[in-house]
């Protein structure tokens, strides 16, 4: 079974600075998807970024980018130019490539606070 580990329960960053959230995972599969979701105080889950394991290029979405290290099974999220609106819980998630009915496997989350 796949597992996802987020080792940083809480982090804080100054506004406009850069912060990196860590995520490691364990799987025996070669093809899969990795995600970062954001859950603000409203508790709506928002997809931040997605990475396909078969793609070597790291995904980027505006101020959000990932460092995907497949051999190390590491998938960190970098937030540049942090904004107050980035304050939220961030969850790393894994999904099998041949998904069918398989659900997302979530990490325990990292609570990020952006400080003015």
User: Which residues contribute to the site for another protein (CB under 8 A)?
Assistant: 33, 37, 42-45, 47, 50, 91, 95, 97, 99, 101, 103-104, 106-109, 111
At closest approach, how far in Å is the CB of 92 from another protein?
10
| Identity of the residue, 43 or 71, whose beta carbon is nearer to another protein in the bound complex | 43
Using CA atoms, how far residue 27 sits from 6, 55, 74, 111, 112, in Å, is 15, 17, 11, 25, 26
Using CA atoms, how far residue 29 sits from 35, 45, 53, 60, 70, in Å, is 16, 26, 10, 24, 11
| Identity of the residue, 37 or 79, whose beta carbon is nearer to another protein in the bound complex | 37
- HSE, side-chain direction, 13 A CA sphere, residue 9: 0
At closest approach, how far in Å is the CB of 16 from another protein?
27
| Identity of the residue, 92 or 114, whose beta carbon is nearer to another protein in the bound complex | 92
At closest approach, how far in Å is the CB of 10 from another protein?
10
Alpha carbon distance 50, 46 (integer Å): 12
């Amino acid at each position: 079974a796949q597992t996802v580990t987020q080792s940083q329960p809480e982090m804080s960053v100054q506004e406009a600075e850069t912060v990196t959230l860590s995520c490691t995972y364990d799987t025996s599969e070669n093809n899969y998807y990795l995600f970062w979701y954001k859950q603000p105080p409203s508790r709506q889950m928002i997809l931040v970024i997605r990475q396909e394991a078969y793609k070597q290029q790291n995904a980027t979405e505006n101020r959000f980018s990932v460092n995907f290290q497949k051999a190390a099974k590491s998938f960190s999220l970098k937030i540049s130019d942090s904004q107050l609106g980035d304050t939220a819980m961030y969850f790393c998630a894994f999904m099998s490539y041949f998904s069918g009915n398989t659900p997302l496997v979530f990490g325990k989350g990292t609570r990020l606070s952006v400080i003015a």
